Structures are given as C-alpha cells and as structure tokens.
Chain A
C-alpha cells in the first residue's frame, strides 16, 4: 500500500508515500516544492558546493510517480524551482526530460515565492498563480479551504523525522517533494495556526496517520514500542 485515501472538502484524495498527492476524480497528480536547481543556486551564491544531483534525483522520483498514476494533469504546487535563475538556468537535458514527462498531459506550474517568474519557453506547460477546479490549489495557504505547499511539514516519530501531509478542516498542506528540502514540525506555531487540529499523514515506506493538535497523554511505563526487549 503506497497511498492513504482521505476526504478533504468533499473530494476523495490519495496521499502517496512519495509525498505526492493524487486526485483520482480529476486524474491529477500534485507535487509541491520541487526546488529544482537548489544546489546550483547555493553554489552561485558562494555557499557550499553540494552534490549536484538533486534535480536528477527529484525527477527520478517524479517520473516514478507519473508512471504509477498515469495522470491527465500534473500540478507543481509552487517553488518548482529554487529561484527564477535556477529555473532559467536548468540544463537542456533536464528541460527535455520534463517535456517528455509532460507529453500527452496537461502540466501546470503554480508560481511560488521562490520562483514567481521561473518558467521559460523550454519547459512544458503553463504558469498560473492558482488553480480553481473544485478545490483551490495555491502555493501558500490563504482563505481556506485550499490545497497548498510552502511549509514543508514534517513529524518526528521514534527519533526519525518524516515529511508529512497536514490535513485540517480548512487547509491541506503538502510535504516538499524535492530531494534537498528540510522540514518544519507540524507543531510549529506557523502550522498550528493553519491546522489547529487534524491529522498528519507521514511518508514512511508507506503512509501512516497520526493526530495533530491533540494533547499527547503520558502512557504507562510497561511494554510499549520503545523497549522491544
């Protein structure tokens, strides 16, 4: 099982273990915060010379998701590129790869705070600020209900940090799909304000669900998963 199905504002959606969202009724695959070109941007700004493979790695994973879901529409939910220059500076081979992936599908770039003008003619698809199609899709959560990205939500379980979907009444927030992306704990004030109560769907080897915004109760000492022996 690589996906967890749930309802959000009357729509049945699949949270996939990869961090992508699939909307079966529209045959629409949504990924957020790809941050393509991140290592190049850091180098350009005189920072660390990180392994320059994250664009390739991110596209490898996106390709696998497209192959698994065969969507009619692919939506990048903002911050597809680490900045405008990163978008325009992507190597031709990468643009070619994107065009191949987009072949026979609609491809939509929603612009984010990092990449308001990153789309160039070498890339497939069109660029919009937001998408209104039964659900509102935008980069940063606004007047709900909406589906957004931007915050890179994550949870820590058993000492392990996992990216997660954050689902509340008004907002559905996607994890970052890009390889070189960090996470913001769902308990952080910025996220707690948007989703005071709801569920997180953590992206492990398969997705699993836990509550958010409920007081965690102390549990009894004996047994428990923390002491397997």
Chain B
C-alpha cells in the first residue's frame, strides 16, 4: 500500500518525513511487530494503514486498538483526532473501557465505531457477548500497544487467546504489535502467534551514568537517602525529572527526605499505585501542565502518557533488570534522535556493583528477560468459560483455535481437556456435581447449563488479582481519601500507630466500615510503611554480570575507589565469589554462628533456599535461629557451625523438602488465591461489595487446605505449584545456581568477612519458628489482657 498523496501532503505540512518503519508497516501484508524506542512515532505508525484504508470507510468496526492502560486509550483518541480532522476523514473513533458508560457500551454493541480503543479486559468482555460475531466480523486490523508490557504477565496471555478468537471471527485480520526495546524480538513475535519483526531506528545511545554523590553509598539499606542533596541539584538543573524508586514504601520515605532538604521549594510530586486515583490524577495533570519540576514515582509511571518536557530520569536503587532500566530511561526526552538522559543511584555498596554492571549491559544493548514458559492454564479455564458465555462451542474447534495463540501453541490435548473438565464439573476426583455442571454437552456442543451464570462469569473477567486493599481516609465527616493500604498491614495497626501515605505522616485511629480512619500527625516519626507488595528480584542475566564483575579483579578498575578497596580486602581475608565457584563462609560473631552463601540467584530463590536449608539444619541439630536473603547472598544464623555445606545443597534433598514445605506456605496460598480467582473457582471481591455486618466469605486458604488434603492431584494445585516454582518461590533459579556451580569453596573464618558485614546490618530477617505467627498472636493477646488488668 502506498502512502496516498493527501497523506504525504499532511506529513509535509507538519514538517515531517514518514519514518521508514511507518512505510514498512504500510506495506506489510501479514502480522507485524514493530520495535521502536519511545518518541519514534510508533502509535501513528500503527494507525497509518487503518487511516489510509478508512478514507473510504467500509462500515462496521474496522480497527481495534488494545492498550494496557485506560489512560492511554483516551490519549490516543485525542492524538488521532488531529490527522483525522486535517485529512477530512469521515470516521468515528470511540473508546471502550471499564469507565465507559453503560448506555454507550450498549450502543457500541449494535453500532460499533470505525476505530475502537480498548483494554484486554474490555475486549474479553465484548467477546463473551452473543453479538461478538456481528461486532467483530468486519474487523480488518488490530493494533496492540505496549505489547512488551502486556507480554510480561497473564493479561498478555488472555489477550492472545482473545486474538485467536478474533481471527476466527474475522479471518482477514491483520495484527500489528507495538513494543519498546526488548531483549528477544523473535520471542515476542512468537508470542503474537507469528509476525514479521520490523525494527525502527533505535536512535542515539542514551546519556546514562552513575550520579556522582558527595557521600559514598552506605554499607546496607535500600533508601538511597544519602543522595538527596545531589538528586536535588540535578532536579534544579533539569527541566523536568522523574525519580524512579523501586517500592512504594521507599518512594514515600524518599519523598519525605527530599522535601526535608528542598530549601528552594522546587515543586516535586509523588506518584505510586497505593495513592488514591484523585491524588495520582492531580500529579499527572500537573506534570502535563508543566507545573512540576520532578515527580518521585514507582513502576506506576513505567507506562503512560508521554510528557514531552521530561529530560532527566533518575533511578534510585539498583535497577534489578536491565530491560526495565532501558524502558525507564526512555521516559526521558521523547524527542526522537536526541539522547535520553538518565542517572542512577545505588542504595548501598552491593548495589554499586549492580549499577556498574547494569550500565555496561545498557551500553552493550544486552537486555535481559526470563522466558515465562507456556501459557498458564488458569487463564485458559477463564477463556473456556467466557467462550461458553458467547454461545455453544465445539471442543475440537476451540482446541485448534487456542493453539493458534502464541503462548498456547504447544498446549496438549490432555491439558486442554483437563481445563474443559474443570470448567464443566470442577474437575474433582469425587464427581459430586454431575447434576449441577456449569457446562453441559448437548448435541455435540458445550454450553452453559444455566445461562444466568454468564453474569457472574463476566463479573470475574480479567487476570489482575489485587491484594485485599482498604481505603485510607482522614477522620471526620467527608474526610479526604488518601489512598489504600493492604488489609494485612491495616490489621497489624494499633490505635496511635503512625505511617506514611501520600507524603504525610498519619496516625491510625480506627477501622470503620472497611475504611482506615487516620489523623494528620506531622511531628511524629512514622512507623515504617510496609504496605507495598513484593520486591522484584534481580534478573538472572544481571546477576551473572554482577558475579562476573565481582570475581574478576581486572574489571574492578571500573568501580568506585571505596568499592574496589572493599573487594580487595575480601580477596585477602576470604575469597571472591566468581563464575563456576559457589563461595560460602562460616564465622562466629557475638556467640552465634553465621553461614553466608554468595548465590547471586535473586532474593526469591535465596529466600526459598534459606527456608529449605534451615529445615535441614533443624533436623541436623545445628539450631538455626533465622536467616536473611538478598539478591546476592543468603545469611543463616545458627547455634552451631555449618562446616560442610555440600549436603545442605543436595538438589534432590532440596526438591524433597520443597514438596513438604509448600504445603503450608503463605506464598503458595496467595498464589492459589490468584489461580482460583482467574480460573473462576471463586468470585473476586469487587469494590463496594464487602459490607460489614455480615459473616465475611471464608478465605481461599481453607479451599487450598481442603484440596491438598482430599484431592491433591487437582488441576488448580498443579497450576499453583507450576506458578510458584517460577514466581515467588523461584526454585528454578536455585537449580540454575547449582547448575552453574562447578565446585563449592567453603571458608571457615575467624571473623566477619568484608562481603558479609553489610548483610549483618540488613533488616528483614526471617525467624525460624514453626509457630511464630501464633506465638506472636498469643503474645499480643497476653499484652492486651495485661493492659486491661486481667490475667488468664
């Protein structure tokens, strides 16, 4: 397809030249994946073929645009309106998200626009309607935006299942994926099914370096507060800065620290996922209006609307993952062909090494990323149920269609049938529900037994399962909403406790009707805000780079002076961890033995290893007391010394221990809850649905325990175990670590080693006590009784 003359004129009138990748997409006859840096005219490239085809609208829905963010759909609608008006195109563009009014949704089902902008969840919902074939039959093009972000989680898997549904409904469909820079474009293309990869000019190398600081990084900790004066200096020099912090709690603390030092009163805002939507929108609007000089943010700003004025990104804390660092750097300077400027600030000495290693990787354009493995079966279960909502289906046809989706291309029939059986009967060994099946086979087609069930199934659409969150509001009538905290955090609060939210210290007063009521308390030191979810683990590839850097004294020249001296001392009194050699140390300190393992396997894997090793140590009578896991090392404290670590690291032994331990593990229960919600075993809790005054629904933990005891081979337990292996339990990386170990170098030392010293300062140890939680609960009960002047 050529670019028509009026389009060429329009480009010329803007003072633009069409980019080569925009022309490439116009010429493409099959599915494409465009890899382009931010600011590369990616969105226009994606829509250009549609706009050309829509010079003569064929009627009906022509193009579907899917984005991970609702906010992006509104932004795109605005951006498209200009060329559409200039070129005098007679087309209708509408968005359709969870925020769209129901009257408009209903109308869209009967009379769809030419271009519909939506999210994966809204698409799944539309596909579950009986009218789906009529709505989508005319579809010619699909544009998938920010595909790199969607492909990282189950939203992407669901989207790919929906895409194969769309291809079945509209066989002539052409799909265009748009992605930021990724490590393996071909893998992302396979995720789309099959697509031709088109690379845009990646633009100039970013201007990225460590931020020089007046004080060296501290030995331990994760706050990076030592850098505040230097960060403020950079903010003052730049136009607009985004300061990325890895967790919400740290963002709150950093925001407080930066304002304490902000003598020039630079307007600096805060943005993270726990803040109320109003608070986030205010900050976004202020950014768009150019009223802020900086915003302290978490991953909540990884994606989003382009702010042209941002010319500096500061990453505080180790980036953990090179790809994410590169994508964050791309948030600075959205002018194509100008380098993005970014500075990174390690939070402690170990992170200095990680930052140096990450900078090398960025310069070498060596990105990381772990394969997520085949498409998860809980998402497939949901897809099967939603397919039934749209109408009766043939199992063979659906199986073929599902295998057209990239993540499910190797799905075997046995797994598919297990998911279908789960959707139909619950899939229990005890066939208790023959009379009450959800799906029935009639005339060779599967269908809902009770069509009214479709409503509940549609309410449960989606793959994002939030932790139970409680709203936080200032006390008093119509108190200002401040944000949300996790229920588990809220339940640990006692009246008078203080915590940080939205940059202010507040005092906990009461929990009323599922709302946390607080009062401003500006003078008190906050109790640490621990309401953010989980920390990210350093990627496998970056961990390998860090290990290689630590283990190669010749490469230490690239490190700051104090870090060099630290590693040199370690080499002298013990030994340096290095590729192929797993270094471990034992030493006594204050009457306790400490065992350190420099595994470089990420915090989740080392955490799991800590749990498994301390179990074995308990049985072996070494008296483990507690352990601590970081991304690099595991520290175990015990009454007796570990003199030979090899038996503790026996892979078969660890595997065996894993099975037992998983039985009662909180991580597994949380994973199970997500799987149970996504697969449709339990309904998600919708906001506003939880009312006080009624017996709450019982917890999914009970279902997990019951299934484990009475139906241990159930599909959902299998999905849960698969997921935990890769996710938070991360046993795969324990195997990876042992696989790359040729030998273990164990050192018995007479004192703390230089590398181990910072670990001794880290907070967040896990105590080894089987009944720890219960003992804490009893202690609290006893304290309350004592306070009340009662004894039991």
A→B interface (CB under 8 Å): 4, 39-40, 43-44, 46-54, 56-57, 151-152, 156-162, 176, 179-184, 188-190, 202, 204-205, 208-211, 214, 216-219, 221, 225-226, 228-229
Contact = CB atoms under 8 A, between A and B. Distances in A.
Contacts of A190: 693
Interface stretch (B42-50, B244-252, B428-436, B739-747): B428-436
B450 A46 contact: yes
Interface string B50-75: 00000000000000000000000000
A88 B783 CA distance: 47
B432 A40 contact: yes
B788 interface: yes
A41 to B, nearest CB: 10
Given A49-B438, A158-B773, A225-B780, A184 B695 contact: yes
Contacts of B683: 48
Contacts of B702: 179-180
B710 A216 contact: no
Given A158-B776, A159-B488, A210-B784, A51 B433 contact: no
Contact of A180 (B435, B698, B781): B698
Nearest to A91: B432
B5 interface: no
Contacts of B776: 158, 225-226, 228
A39 B788 contact: no
Contact of A39 (B425, B432, B792): B432
Contacts of B580: none
Interface string B469-495: 000000000000000000010011011
B692 interface: yes
B489 to A, nearest CB: 8
A158 B497 CA distance: 14
Given A51-B703, A184-B695, A216-B494, A56 B710 contact: yes
A219 B494 contact: yes
B495 A229 contact: no
B765 interface: yes
A47 B696 CA distance: 17
Which A-B residue pairs are the 6 nearest by beta carbons? Answer: A218-B496, A49-B426, A52-B432, A43-B436, A53-B710, A157-B777
Contact of B491 (A40, A156, A184): A156
A226 B173 CA distance: 57
Interface of B: 425-426, 428, 430, 432-433, 435-436, 438, 449-450, 452-453, 456, 488, 491-492, 494-497, 527, 626, 680-683, 692-699, 702-703, 706-707, 709-711, 714, 763-765, 767, 771-774, 776-785, 787-788, 790, 792
A229 B765 contact: yes
B714 A182 contact: no
B573 to A, nearest CB: 27
B460 to A, nearest CB: 10
Contacts of B703: 50-51, 180
A208 B428 contact: no
B785 A210 contact: yes
B491 A204 contact: no
Contacts of B452: 46
Nearest to A156: B491
B681 A49 contact: yes
Given A157-B780, A229-B765, A52 B695 contact: no
Nearest to A228: B767
A205 B787 contact: no
Contacts of B778: 204, 208
Contacts of B784: 210-211, 216
Contacts of A228: 767, 772, 776
B425 A49 contact: yes
A159 B701 CA distance: 14
Contact of A48 (B682, B774, B777): B682
A57 B781 contact: no
Contacts of A181: 695, 698
A189 B777 contact: no
Contact of A51 (B456, B710, B782, B783): B710
B681 A151 contact: no
A92 to B, nearest CB: 14
Contacts of A226: 492, 776
A53 B788 contact: no
19 contacts: A48-B681, A49-B438, A49-B681, A51-B426, A51-B710, A53-B430, A157-B780, A159-B491, A159-B492, A162-B777, A180-B698, A184-B693, A184-B696, A204-B774, A204-B778, A211-B788, A217-B787, A219-B783, A229-B764
A188 B453 CA distance: 32
A169 to B, nearest CB: 15
Given A57-B710, A214-B788, 6 more contacts: A49-B438, A158-B492, A160-B777, A180-B706, A205-B771, A225-B783
Nearest to B778: A208
B699 to A, nearest CB: 7
A51 B706 contact: yes
A161 B781 contact: no
A214 B780 CA distance: 15
Contacts of A39: 432
Nearest to B455: A46
Given A202-B781, A204-B778, A210-B784, A57 B709 contact: yes
